[in-house]
Amino acid sequence: FNATIEKMVGFFIGFTAYFLIGFAFWASQYYIMVDYTLVDTIKDWWAGGGLSNSMAQNVDPAVFPGLNNFQIFIFFLACFAGIVNVLLHFAVSER
């Protein structure tokens, strides 16, 4: 039972950390290609950022085409980060 609680806590720590700021670091690779900075990416894509909190249908496609795909990936990759934490816990639980 204790190991299950530890894995759930690990999942939510990974999920939350990635959801809050991790996606901004992932999206920075696209921003850097068009001469923006990491600070610009964080302003747009952290959990309270402009693009992560805007409804995709309300954002002009000229501003950011494909915004809906990026917003879906925030949740998908955050879940993946949580699962990676659980797998790491499995790897080191049998010392």
**What is the mean predicted confidence (pLDDT) over 21-27?**
92
Q: Is 22 or 2 the better-scoring residue by pLDDT? A: 22
Please report, for the chain, the start and end positions of each structural domain, with discontinuous segments joined by +: 2-92
Q: If pLDDT is split at 50, 70 and 90, which confidence band does 95 have?
A: low
CB 50 within 8 A of CB 43: yes
Residue 82 to residue 76: CA distance in whole angstroms:
10
